[in-house]
Chain A
């Protein structure tokens, strides 16, 4: 699909609500399929967002969304769909994951990712990797080819080599944009005398396939100017990533430390299972109730076994997209407009 064509479709598809409305009762037909993606809550204020930048973000989201949806439509698995969506956003330098990830205090990209298969459930995750082009794919190898769930640092890269993954030099991940952001953050640190990481970008996807399987995947470079070795919620199963076929699939983005302490992704599923909340009610409770009360900022995308999608956040915006078998196709950044 060419860029102009894509943008024309996009401008028609922009919806005005932060949450995709639950679809009407499904008519008899093929089982539901659905996917949602996010590109982080690190959205600049609407007044500072140029039309050109907005179009570029939207095109990046649309490419990932539609490629993943095509997998589901062909009868592919939710696991393949979320892997594809996250891999594409990892490769897109505008998002904080893979190439173009934010840099730590030493000027390196230190990458974290996780994937979870609602069947089983099974999970794989990596943290602190510096030479793996697509961390989400390594997370998937951990899940499928190792007895472990979480591998970190050099040990994770050793495993990558054992699996035939080609490592890339650290320079692959660094972009001019991220280098100047790091310089600004470090200058501010010198001026203020305290370290303060910034950036709340992360990419993620959740999906439901025709077989009724849920999956979630998340990938990130973390915070700009972060302390070497700092790991956020992304690779923590239950915090930034969770999927269970009889519950929900969730991918989070935001201030990771809060997500870890609240076991936020899993808490959404627990509220549904134990307090019989709907997906939308559970997300509202954790994001606008618990996360906001704790002083944390962030958002989630989530999907339930019926294919209902919820995308919600307590920040000014969240890069996001949703598409399902009932004709929903949404790409959005802010709460009330595109």
Chain B
């Protein structure tokens, strides 16, 4: 049994505003990431390679808020966060506020595999990237005309939902279970449009936006990050499954629709458990998402 689920962010693109052409592009972007991640698993690859592959493709796709095409800070720059976790040994790596790393998820993986640390931030993280032989790119690489327009709208106090064409506000992420039973999760984001420089959301916070533990589950989150941090959302799902014996679906529903709703935050979660069962749930109007497993399931959905 192997299985993968991906997300391209929750909320923000109202159904009515999404043209058929635009929707087709989002679906194609999700399909490319989903099928590439699945192909890694199908070839007997690890869940870690599968989630890295899927997230890297979503980072490279300008439609999604991560890597190229990430949302911009109030200063007009991209500041990127990412995390990855290997459920096998509870290894994890994360980076925050990097501005010149093409694929933050790959740098997060280097942090996990090549450093003694879990989280590196800012210029120090980029110094580490250079030490690891990764080439840096100018910040300009990440900026797209659509994100600049979105930033201007936001700064003029207009609703992002009025932007045509609409762009995803979300985060991207993936969770997978490989044939050997190992779980992994990865998440990457540009954060909130018009955010304060230095603001870090839940994506690179192990336990908040990203978590994986073999025998339990792997989780990647998207949504209003501050609430996910306070609720320790991703680890909460794992704790509810492991300690309370809750079904994954019930644990995800509890954190999204009870705990986070009470705190006042919305968003979505994708998760996969030790048996390869996939759960994708959200409290927003929609969540860009996809799921595929070795039982023949293959779904791509937005609403």
Contact = CB atoms under 8 A, between A and B. Distances in A.
Interface in A222-280: 227-232, 236-239, 242, 256-257, 260-263, 266-267, 270-271, 274-275
A150 B235 contact: no
Contacts of A270: 235-236, 239, 243
A257 B117 contact: yes
B114 to A, nearest CB: 11
Interface stretch (B135-143, B195-203, B284-292): B195-203
Interface in A150-194: 150-156, 158-159
B115 A227 contact: yes
B119 A231 contact: yes
Interface stretch (A19-27, A71-79, A88-96, A121-129): A121-129
Given A155-B196, A238-B232, A274-B243, A227 B207 contact: no
B121 A152 contact: yes
A108 B122 CA distance: 15
A238 B208 contact: yes
B280 interface: no
Contacts of B244: 274
Contacts of B91: 261
A23 B118 CA distance: 38
Contacts of A159: 196, 198
Contacts of A153: 97, 121-123, 198
A267 B239 contact: yes
Interface stretch (B59-67, B124-132, B167-175, B177-185): B124-132
B196 A227 contact: no
Contact of A236 (B123, B125, B206): B206
B120 A155 contact: no
B90 interface: yes
A227 B128 contact: yes
Chain B: interface residue count, which band? 35 or more
A148 interface: yes
Nearest to A162: B196
Contact of A228 (B127, B197, B200): B127
B196 A148 contact: yes
Tell me what chain B mostly uses at the interface: helix, strand, loop, or mixed.
Answer: mixed
B297 interface: no
B211 interface: yes
Nearest to B127: A228
A50 B197 CA distance: 46
Contacts of A294: 90
A155 B118 contact: no
Contacts of A154: 122, 197-198
B206 A261 contact: yes
Interface in B207-259: 207-208, 211, 225-226, 229-230, 232, 235-236, 239-240, 243-244
Nearest to A274: B243
Contacts of B243: 270-271, 274-275
Given A120-B230, A148-B196, A238-B235, A231 B121 contact: yes
A205 interface: no
Contacts of B96: 152, 231
8 contacts: A149-B225, A230-B119, A231-B120, A231-B121, A257-B117, A260-B206, A261-B206, A294-B90
Given A150-B201, A151-B196, 9 more contacts: A150-B200, A151-B199, A151-B200, A154-B122, A155-B199, A196-B116, A229-B123, A230-B120, A236-B207
Interface of A: 120-123, 127-128, 146-156, 158-159, 196-197, 227-232, 236-239, 242, 256-257, 260-263, 266-267, 270-271, 274-275, 294
